[in-house]
């Protein structure tokens, strides 16, 4: 056997192993599903492999194709083939389909295997190049065996799917279908439906491809067969997790009309199958609008459909109040709302409180609050007797990020004595009073029930007070003061703030009380004249005296740090890409910006250094520093290696070993420095190199030692905290004992 043949065997073996690891998912036990296939163990031998054997896990339907592919390379299958499990049935791909269906021309397909594998390796890092390569191979294959093109392009699409490139995958899937049309190829309907499902589930089946598929079905099949194929694909696509596409109703009606079938009967059967799929939750608005009348008929024929509609919170319908009320109208037309009100007995255990909890969360559409919905209020009023009877609490407060509630719905539930689940202790419930006041839809509640409830009044109190720190418009303030209940809550808030101001013992406490009062200065006199009078009479002079006698933080300072900042501001430009970096070097600080680094000691500036960093560093990378013995070690990463130099010898750059430096922005801030000579005073004949969490003596050559002559006692640091091991002086002290 030639060397090239042996190499091809090994390449093919490696490809098969990778494929097996990537796609095999064995189903435990047995199943009667139509898409199940038996998983077999097949063993292959070849003289060039000596005693070694190739063992393959292959679905039964693909076994013959695998045997032919390996037989072309001279591998022989052993007769014993065992069944070890079940997998989902797979369609024949490339080159397997060519070997099974046209073995005489199979060499054309196998000749491309090596190129396909090469392009597959490029698909992640160089997708454009790989795409052009697959297109060139397709042109070559089309001139010789055009009936191989669909499976070849599908295989190219699978390559891009492995790297989550659905754009290129969809493009090659479209090329496969175009090849069928251009070359007028015979289509295996079962195989094509399976391929459509495969790419639909992977997210690479565009609406354009689906609509072209509808046209192709109508062109090559009888109307009845075209409808049957389309219906089966649509149902299986939804069962696989993909929602109905927007123009599905129009495409389905065109096929049903062409087949001469009863539209209502066929649509009811189709919609019933689609509703059973979990993907129906994400059906678009066009689906619900078009099939609205069909759903009414279907609910009358199959009562279980009503319970299914209550399970669905249609995420694809829309996010407006009008969309929400459309869904409630659909529930009313189908009779599903009667299961919530108890007007129709149900044996399926429909839980009204659970539905209202889910509906309340759904109406927030990913936020914390929602607009007023008169239809929701009317339905809940009808549900109230059943909710009280069952006694299960309803959760109206859960939101996407924070707790929030529909204020009108909350007031209605409290007024009707509907059991409510209180928010967790310490939870701040967002009510969005300004939005509630601007809402002009009918159904606004007077909020007396909320104000009469202990937890409800506290929630209102916080909602009114949350105007503090916000730019509250005059319209919102007028709305609060003009509302009888909210005005009373605001009066309570102002009186409490005035009492807090009277009790203030310092300027900070007084400032906090003033902040509570200030958002309402324009309306406070109308609501609580007493609170305004107490604020006007407040004397701040005694508090100022108390504060000055106690001292304020602004009296503290670090002159050396102030001087260092002035120098940095004078010599470097500040912008968003040149922020100030601070590194710990106890008892000093290392400040750096752009090309300048300054070491600040307790009393004065210890060191000032112009950085000598190489060109081409990532703009987000910041150097790291260590200060010891009066000198600064400057460190950075470049090309996945670590380098450094001492400030007195910047031209002598040396590599650093030890743990890796943090190379992300700000990653080195707050790290400690190398111990200085003052850390301890053992004999100087045992040099120390700091390492993470420990210290041990380690000799270094003088070539990488820091320059001598630094000030004694400066840059004192702690041992055992450094993240790297820079070169240390040969006369450095030992580490202090732990």
Burial class (CB in 10 A: 0-12, 13-18, 19+), 178: middle
Residues 566, 592 within the same domain: yes
The SS3 call for residue 425 is coil
Per the model's pLDDT, the better-predicted residue between 596 and 664 turns out to be 596
Residues 593, 533 within the same domain: no
644 is a domain residue: yes
pLDDT value, residue 81: 83
DSSP state of 599: E
pLDDT of residue 626 exceeding 50: yes
Q: Is 706:625 a contact under the CB 8 Å cutoff? A: no
Tell me how far apart the alpha carbons of residues 52 and 366 are, in angstroms, rounded to a whole number.
58
Residues 568, 673 within the same domain: yes
Cα separation of the two ends of the chain = 68
Per the model's pLDDT, the better-predicted residue between 12 and 410 turns out to be 410
Strands 631-638 and 688-691: unpaired
Q: What does the chain come to in residues?
A: 738
67 is a domain residue: yes
Mean pLDDT of the chain: 81
Of 53-62, 287-296, 691-700, which has the strongest mean pLDDT? 287-296
Tell me the backbone φ, ψ of residue 694, rounded to 5 degrees.
-160, 165
698 is a domain residue: yes
Residues 575, 686 within the same domain: yes
Domain count for the chain: 3
Per the model's pLDDT, the better-predicted residue between 605 and 83 turns out to be 605
The CA angle 114-120-123, to the nearest 5 degrees, is 145
454 is a domain residue: no
pLDDT of residue 714 exceeding 80: no
pLDDT in tens, 647-702: 999 999 999 987 777 655 444 444 433 333 333 333 334 333 333 333 333 333 33
Tell me how far apart the alpha carbons of residues 383 and 352 are, in angstroms, rounded to a whole number.
7
Residue 545's domain comprises: 467-550
> At which of 40, 61, 90 does a domain end?
90
> At which of 483, 517, 550 does a domain end?
550
Residues 564, 696 within the same domain: yes
> At which of 489, 516, 550 does a domain end?
550
pLDDT of residue 368 exceeding 80: yes
pLDDT of residue 490 exceeding 90: yes
62 is a domain residue: yes
pLDDT value, residue 493: 93
Residues 514, 606 within the same domain: no
pLDDT of residue 32 exceeding 70: no
Residues 564, 546 within the same domain: no
Strands 605-610 and 588-593: unpaired
pLDDT value, residue 321: 94
Lowest mean pLDDT among 113-127, 587-601, 649-663, 695-709: 695-709
**Contacts of 662 by beta carbon, 8 Å cutoff, 6+ apart:** 624, 668, 723
357 is a domain residue: no
Residues 695, 587 within the same domain: yes
pLDDT of residue 29 exceeding 60: no
pLDDT of residue 72 exceeding 90: no
Lowest mean pLDDT among 78-82, 127-131, 706-710: 706-710
Residues 505, 574 within the same domain: no
Stretch 316-345: mean pLDDT: 92
Q: Is 634:668 a contact under the CB 8 Å cutoff? A: no
325 is a domain residue: no
pLDDT value, residue 412: 96
Report yes or no on whether pTM surpasses 0.85: no
Residues 602, 528 within the same domain: no
Q: Concatenated DSSP letters for 309-334?
A: HHH---TTT-SSHHHHHHHHHHHHHH
Strand partners, 647: none
Tell me the backbone φ, ψ of residue 234, rounded to 5 degrees.
-65, -45
134 is a domain residue: no
Residues 520, 580 within the same domain: no
Residues 609, 517 within the same domain: no
**Orientation of helix 529-536 relative to helix 507-517, angle to 10°:** 150
């Amino acid at each position: 056997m030639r060397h090239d043949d042996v190499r091809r065997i090994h390449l093919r073996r490696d490809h098969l192993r990778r494929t097996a690891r990537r796609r095999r998912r064995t189903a435990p036990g047995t199943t009667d599903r139509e898409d199940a296939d038996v998983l077999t163990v097949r063993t292959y031998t070849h003289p060039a492999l000596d005693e070694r054997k190739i063992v393959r896990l292959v679905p039964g339907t693909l076994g013959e194709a695998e045997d032919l592919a390996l037989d072309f390379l001279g591998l022989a299958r052993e007769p014993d083939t065992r069944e070890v499990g079940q997998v989902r049935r797979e369609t024949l791909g490339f080159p397997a389909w060519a070997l099974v269906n046209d073995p005489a021309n199979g060499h054309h397909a196998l000749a491309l295997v090596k190129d396909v594998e090469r392009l597959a390796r490029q698909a992640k890092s160089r997708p454009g190049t790989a795409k052009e390569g697959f297109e060139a191979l397709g042109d070559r294959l089309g001139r010789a065996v055009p009936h191989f093109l669909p499976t070849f392009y599908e295989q190219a699409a699978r390559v891009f799917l492995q790297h989550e490139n659905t754009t290129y995958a969809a493009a090659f899937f479209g090329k496969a279908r175009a090849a069928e049309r251009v070359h007028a190829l015979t289509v295996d309907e079962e195989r094509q439906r399976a391929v459509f499902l495969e790419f639909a589930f992977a997210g690479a089946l565009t609406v354009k491809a689906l609509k072209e598929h509808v046209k192709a079905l109508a062109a090559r099949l009888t109307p009845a067969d075209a409808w049957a194929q389309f219906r089966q694909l649509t149902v299986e696509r939804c069962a696989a997790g993909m929602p109905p596409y927007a123009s599905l109703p129009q495409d389905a009606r065109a096929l049903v009309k062409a087949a001469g079938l009863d539209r209502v009967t066929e649509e009811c059967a189709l919609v019933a199958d689609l509703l059973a799929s979990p993907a129906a939750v994400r059906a678009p608005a066009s689906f619900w609008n078009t099939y609205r009348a069909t759903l009414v008929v279907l609910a009358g024929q199959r009562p279980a459909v009503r319970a299914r509609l209550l399970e669905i919170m249609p995420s694809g319908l829309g996010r407006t109040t009008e969309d929400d009320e459309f869904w409630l109208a659909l529930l009313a037309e189908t009779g599903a709302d009667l299961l919530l009100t108890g007007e129709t007995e149900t044996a399926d255990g429909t839980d009204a409180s659970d539905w209202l909890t889910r509906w309340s969360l759904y109406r927030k559409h990913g936020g914390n609050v929602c607009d007023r919905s008169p239809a929701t209020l009317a339905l809940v009023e009808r549900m109230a007797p059943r909710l009280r009877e069952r006694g299960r609490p309803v959760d109206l407060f859960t939101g996407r990020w924070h707790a929030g509630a529909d204020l009108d719905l909350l007031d209605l539930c409290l007024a009707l004595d509907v059991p409510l689940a209180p928010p967790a202790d310490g939870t701040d419930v967002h009510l969005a009073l300004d939005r509630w006041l601007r809402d002009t839809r009918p159904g606004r509640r007077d909020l007396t029930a909320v104000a009469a409830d202990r937890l409800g009044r506290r929630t209102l109190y916080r909602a009114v007070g949350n105007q503090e720190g916000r730019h509250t418009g005059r319209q919102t303030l007028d709305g609060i003061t003009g509302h009888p209940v909210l005005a009373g809550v605001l009066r309570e808030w102002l009186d409490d703030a005035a009492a807090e101001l009277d009790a203030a013992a310092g300027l900070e406490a007084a400032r906090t009380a003033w902040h509570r009062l200030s958002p309402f200065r324009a309306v406070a006199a109308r609501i609580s004249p007493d609170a305004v009078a107490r604020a006007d009479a407040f004397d701040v002079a005694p508090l100022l005296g108390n504060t000055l006698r106690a001292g304020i933080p602004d009296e503290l300072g670090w002159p050396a740090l102030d001087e260092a900042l002035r120098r940095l501001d004078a010599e470097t430009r500040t912008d968003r890409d040149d922020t100030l970096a601070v590194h710990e070097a106890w008892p000093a600080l290392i400040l750096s910006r752009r090309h300048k680094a300054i070491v600040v000691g307790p009393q004065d500036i210890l060191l000032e250094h112009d950085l000598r960093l190489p060109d081409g560093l990532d703009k987000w990378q910041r150097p790291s520093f260590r200060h010891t013995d009066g000198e600064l070690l400057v460190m950075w990463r470049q090309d996945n290696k670590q380098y450094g130099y001492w400030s007195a010898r910047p031209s002598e750059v040396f590599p650093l070993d030890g743990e890796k430096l943090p190379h992300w922005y700000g990653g080195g801030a707050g790290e400690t420095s190398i111990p200085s000579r003052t850390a301890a005073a053992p004999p100087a004949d045992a040099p120390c190199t700091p390492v993470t969490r420990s210290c041990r003596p380690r000799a270094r050559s003088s070539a990488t030692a820091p320059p001598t002559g630094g000030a004694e006692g400066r840059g004192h640091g702690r041992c055992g905290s450094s993240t790297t091991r820079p070169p240390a002086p040969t006369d450095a002290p030992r580490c202090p004992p732990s």
